[in-house]
Structure 1
Amino acid sequence: MVSDSSFIGEYLATTSDILVAASISFTVLAFLIRDILWLRSLAILGNLFMAISDVTHDPLPVINFFGHLLIVAINIGHSFYLIMERRRAVLKPREQALREQALGSMDAVTAKRLFLLGQWVWIDEGTTLITQGQKPDRLYALLEGKAFAAARYRKVGELGPGQFVGEMSFLTNDTAGATVVTSERCLCFEWDRELLRQQMDRSKDLNAAVVAALGGDMARKIMSQNMRFVRKQLPARG
């Protein structure tokens, strides 16, 4: 059996060995971190240790040395950009409230990007937001107030704070399956569909976050409809 001291003496005998071991440790840890800023910070440390290890060699492995420094510089630049972006990602009270109610686990940076693409609007009672059989040009998220959905002149559901209007049509790029009308004055956030889609096509992160939020809302609505259907089928208790 090899003792700990002999293992260290054999494999970590020089300063270069220790630096390489530290670099590998930081690199492995980076793959276990979800936060991109911490990931880049660990990548900086890992490559910095490798660059220092290169200096201990004679002659200096020039390509390796400057390659590690280049990776360090790139990650420092990206880290600076992330820090500045996070500082700008301070949500206003209404934005934070809608994020908590409708956007699920979307991070603040992505949520702020999403809010910069739309605007807040007050919508009067009795206003038709989307019409069945037509492709809406707006996507809405309710923060205050209520609305109802109707299909073929029959009420099929109600919408309230934290829910989207037109999400199914947006995800499928098809016409609306129901007409949605406000049942009271509502405070909504609205996006131009085409502008939002263009930005989603340019950013995989934004696309994934928006699809997850809309898909989650749609799934909850379907589950709620199914529960109402089941309750109607149950025999009344006498």
Structure 2
Amino acid sequence: MTFMFEYFSGAASFVHLAVLCYMLGLLTRKELLLRGFLFLGSLFYILYYYYIAESPLWEAIAASTLIAASNLPVIYRIFRERSTFGMTDEMLTLYQSFPNFNPGQFRQMMAQAEIVEAHDDVTLLEQGMPPSHLYLTNTNGFVLERDHLQSDLGPGNFLGEISFLLGGGATATVKARAGASYVAWDLGQLQSMMANSSSMANAISVLLNKDIARKLAVSFPSKPFALPPTVT
């Protein structure tokens, strides 16, 4: 017991703990644990350099402090990517429409967005015309018109996603009534973001393809169709 007390009360234990933290960090595949172990190891080195000599080794302490501090921005970034902490209730509600996004990707997506409340009736998409924006309905109050048929749209529906993915004109006309709220993304900015980040490009493509599949699953053909006659 005396040996253990002398060991842990001495400066040598700090350097051993620092090396152990560095080894554990290098052995893990999880970036947050890696950064946490490196930060903790640097703190133990600071304690070692403070107590090992009669006077603190300030140059070594300063170097270890810089190494420890360099991990903090990365730890903060990882935390932001994996946590919804700090999101408003409105953002948390919108996040439900991005099930395959992590919180960091959602924040990156919303950094390019504009949340709009329509003061008057406004046409967002016109059938056959190339759209300039991708939209997400945030409330009720949207009307879809296609081939002289109309249907109401509620919150959580992407608009213009087919044109965005495949090009060409909008497949329907969509109008927002006064008081309706929606999110808008400039298509040029979205395409630039996707070109600069393969992870964002994959996430956006998967999201919009799932939205299209969901809409097809609950839609019905507006006109009956006949099978071609069988040749005998």
Normalised to the residue count of structure 2, the TM-score between the two structures is 0.62
CA drift at 1:138:
1.1
How many residue pairs get aligned? The number is 182
Q: Distance in 2 between matches of 1:201 and 1:78?
A: 28
CA drift at 1:77:
5.1
Residue by residue, what CA displacement relative to the aligned partner does 1:121-157 show, whole Å, maximum 9, x if unpaired? 11246321111111111111111123122223333x4
Q: What amino acid sits opposite 1:90 in the alignment?
A: G
- Aligned pair in 2 of structure 1 residues 152, 107: CA closer, same or farther (>3 Å)? same
Q: Distance in 1 between matches of 2:184 and 2:85?
A: 19
Normalised to the residue count of structure 1, the TM-score between the two structures is 0.61
DSSP-derived class of the 1:181 partner: strand
Q: Distance in 2 between matches of 1:88 and 1:224?
A: 31
Structure 1: gaps of 5 or more residues: 1-18, 49-72, 234-238
CA drift at 1:183:
4.5
DSSP-derived class of the 1:119 partner: strand
Q: Is the 8 A contact 1:139 1:170 kept in 2?
A: yes
- Aligned pair in 2 of structure 1 residues 223, 77: CA closer, same or farther (>3 Å)? farther
DSSP-derived class of the 1:194 partner: helix
Is 1:199–2:223 an aligned residue pair? no
CA drift at 1:90:
3.0
Q: Is the 8 A contact 2:119 2:179 kept in 1?
A: yes
Q: What amino acid sits opposite 1:121 in the alignment?
A: V
DSSP-derived class of the 1:135 partner: coil
Q: 1:99 aligns with which of 82, 91, 95?
A: 95
Q: Percent identity?
A: 22
Is 1:175–2:169 an aligned residue pair? yes
Partner of 1:190: 184
Higher helix share: 1
Trace 1:1-238 onto structure 2 (pairs within 5 A): 30=28, 36-38=31-33, 80-84=73-77, 86=80, 90-100=86-96, 102-124=97-119, 126-155=121-150, 157-183=151-177, 185-225=179-219, 228-229=220-221
Q: What amino acid sits opposite 2:192 in the alignment?
A: Q
Q: What amino acid sits opposite 2:117 in the alignment?
A: W
DSSP-derived class of the 2:168 partner: coil
Give RMSD over aligned pairs: 3.9
